[in-house]
Amino acid sequence: MAVERPKIVPPTSVPPRTPRPAPPAIVDSPRIQRLRDDGPDAVARFWAELTHAGTPLIERDGDATLITFVWRERRPTRDVLALVNKLADRSDLGRSRMRRLPGSDLWHLTYRVRDDWMGSYHFAPDESEHEPLELGPAHWRMVATNLVADPLNPVTLRQSRPPHKSVAAGPAATPLPHWWERRSGVPEGTVETVEAGGRRVWRYLPAGYRGHAEAYPMMVLLDGDIWGPLLPVAPVLDNLIAAGRIPPLVALLPESGDQPTRFSEYACDTAFTEFLATGLIAEAGHDLNLTSDPARTVIAGQSLGGLAAAFAGFTHPERFGNVLSQSGAFWWKSGTPDDVDAEWFAHQVALADRRPVRWHVEVGLDEWVNLRPNRHLRDVLTARGYELTYTEFAGGHDRLCWREHFGNALSTLLPR
């Protein structure tokens, strides 16, 4: 049965707009430095090389990597921002301003990062003819209306609507194999759309699914409108099953709906959590042979979805015996904006008896709002004696990172 949707976003579910405590390392690229002395012909050769090799420019710097983002623009008065996930800070947009090589059409910005860093990015060129961008938090929305992908980078991350994001990665960034890539010869499961609770649910059935067989393990993965059609999880599951990393399983992916709905339901809402534990499975899986064993059931989510998955496992351990949280929003504060309890969920875990739940928690090192709360939850779970795998990756609050790490995370909770 459909439920009434909230009309506004709860203020307590909006991440705090905290400035980045320490800016990322912006340095000079040796290659760009050489161009300063080599003349205009060298710049032309540089563009020809990058047109063939692709961007961004990657250079080694001892035990780290220099990643240089480049933009070609002949109008010297124009401003260009490189908006790299969590290296850019809306409170200090000036640090994302690209520099122009004097006398040339080359704009550039170089970050020093770990070899295993990865991130998605856009460029934001200023369309005005006169004044450069006024940089600051109040202008973030204005900047966001003029985003473009990197025209020299063929690797993109699909978004709900264009422009899609470009992808940058250090030489050791992407763990192999890439579970999300479709592979020749791997049997493909089927994905279909059903309805439960007045919302769409994407339903994954493994290749060779047989309804009369032994009950299948199950995963509930939140934000189905992302992991169903946009950032498909089906190839991840196909590849993991074919490689023997996980058993054949059934996955239910409920859509999150509009922003007010998601920000309300995913914020430790008991009615929504009850729906996940009972109504979702009963309605979307009524004709499937699904396990009732919580030890063979995973609930997974990212960001606020990570918080919602954690709350579901914590309050319904009889149904969800495994929680997979990527960049979980454990900063979340209960109450009203004037009466809040920050990191509410970790406090509940600390005060309650240990439940029969296993955890995988991971977070990006560039998530300055999220990193400390995830470490706090890690410490609480460890102190309470929970079975936990915890990892930190070199990156930000980024679907690119979540997609890359999801396969290995799932296989820690549901090994074959």
In a shared domain, residues 75 and 138: yes
Out of 140, 169, 198, a domain closes at 169
DSSP-assigned letter for residue 184: T
Check which CATH number belongs to the domain holding 250 and give it. 3.40.50.1820
Residue 197: per-residue pLDDT:
94
pLDDT of residue 130: 45
User: What's the pLDDT score for residue 1?
Assistant: 40
pLDDT tens digits for range 187-226: 999 999 999 999 999 999 999 998 877 899 999 999 999 9
Residue 146: the pLDDT is 85
Question: Per the domain annotation, does 2 fall within a domain?
Answer: no
At residue 79, the pLDDT reads: 85
Please indicate, yes or no, whether residues 39 and 103 belong to a single structural domain of this protein.
yes
Mean pLDDT, to the nearest integer, of 306-313? Answer: 98
Last residue of a domain, one of 118, 139, 169: 169
Residue 18's DSSP bridge partners are none
Distance CA(210)–CA(206), nearest Å, equals 9
Looking at per-residue confidence, does 37 or 222 come out higher? Answer: 222
**Mean pLDDT over the full length of the chain:** 92
Distance of CA 406 to the CA centre of its chain: 10
Q: What is the pLDDT of residue 5?
A: 62
Residues 248 and 146 occupy one common structural domain: no
Q: Domain end: 139, 169, 199, which one?
A: 169
Predicted confidence (pLDDT) per residue in 118-170, tens digit? 999 999 987 555 455 555 556 666 777 789 999 999 999 999 999 999 999 99
Average pLDDT estimate for 69-79: 85
Within a domain: residue 178? no
Q: What DSSP character marks residue 296?
A: G
Count up the domains in the chain and report the number: 2
Residue 179 falls inside a structural domain: no
Tell me the C-alpha distance between 156 and 163, whole Å: 10
Residue bearing tokens 């990212």: 302
216, 315: one domain: yes
Residue 78, burial from CB neighbour count under 10 angstroms (0-12, 13-18, 19+): middle
Please check whether residues 215 and 358 belong to one and the same domain.
yes
d(CA 358, CA 409) in angstroms, rounded, equals 12
Backbone torsions φ then ψ of 356, nearest 5 degrees: -80, 70
144 and 199 belong to one structural domain: no
How far apart CA 68 and CA 85 sit, in angstroms, is 14
Is 47 a member of any domain? Answer: yes
Say yes or no: 93 and 221 in one domain: no
Q: Does 335 score more than 90 pLDDT?
A: no
Question: Would you say residue 137 lies in a domain?
Answer: yes
Residue 298: beta bridge partners?
219, 322
Check whether residue 81 and residue 209 sit in a common domain: no
Q: Which of 76-80, 311-315, 331-335, 367-371 has the lowest mean pLDDT?
A: 76-80
* Integer Cα distance of 61 and 41 in angstroms: 26
pLDDT number for residue 139: 66
Side-chain half-sphere of 34: how many Cα atoms within 13 Å?
6
pLDDT given at position 38 = 87
**Amino acid making up residue 230:** L
The DSSP secondary structure of 191-244, one letter per residue, reads: EEEEEETTEEEEEEE-TT--TTSSPBPEEEES-HHHHTTTS-SHHHHHHHHHTT
Q: 163 in a domain, yes or no?
A: yes
The Cα 133–Cα 96 span in angstroms is 12
Pairwise CA distance, residues 228 & 213, whole Å = 25
Count of helices and strands (H, E) across the chain: 12, 19
Q: Which two tokens stand for residue 219?
A: 């995963």
> Residue 127: which residues within 8 A CB-CB, separation 6 or more?
146
Task: Please say whether the beta carbons of 197 and 279 come within 8 A.
Answer: yes
- Domain CATH code at residue 145: 2.60.40.10
In this structure, the answer to whether residues 19 and 161 fall within a common structural domain is yes
Domain contains 5: no
Residue 199 and residue 164 share a domain: no
Residue 406 lies in a domain: yes
Burial class (CB in 10 A: 0-12, 13-18, 19+), 411: middle
pTM > 0.85: yes
Residue 336 pLDDT grade (very low, low, confident, very high; cuts 50, 70, 90): low
For the beta carbon of residue 294, count every other beta carbon within 10 angstroms.
22
Q: What confidence category does residue 8 fall into, taking pLDDT thresholds of 50, 70 and 90?
A: confident
Sheet containing 322-326: give its strands across.
190-196, 199-205, 250-254, 218-221, 297-302, 322-326, 358-364, 387-393
Backbone angles phi and psi of 172, in degrees to 5? -110, 20
253 and 372 share one domain: yes
pLDDT at 349 over 90: yes
Residue 317 domain boundaries:
190-413
Would you tell me the crossing angle of helices 344-351 and 304-315 to the nearest 10 degrees? 20
Q: Do 292 and 150 sit in the same domain of this protein? A: no
CA distance 328 to 307: 5
